[in-house]
Amino acid sequence: MSQMSYSNWSSGEPSDASNYDSNLRRWSNTTSEKCLHISRGFSYEWNDALCEIPSCSICEIDLET
């Protein structure tokens, strides 16, 4: 297995800055943005986000037998 070298962060990301949910309500003063999301609002570039906010996921699996 090799380490991933591709990245597509939006300008200023990852910022670990937003502790707000999708309705701009304060979520936490201590929670860090440990997850990544891709959205039209970020021109489909990467943004770090709170893992506690429900969203769809992409997982990596090994297909070699």
Domain locations along the chain:
9-52
Give pTM, 2 decimals: 0.57
Tens-digit pLDDT profile for residues 1-60: 677 788 898 888 888 775 555 555 655 556 678 888 888 888 999 988 878 777 877 777
Write out the two tokens for 52: 């506690």
- The average confidence (pLDDT) of the chain is 76
> Cβ(37)–Cβ(55) under 8 Å?
yes
Phi, psi of 5 (to 5 degrees): -115, -10
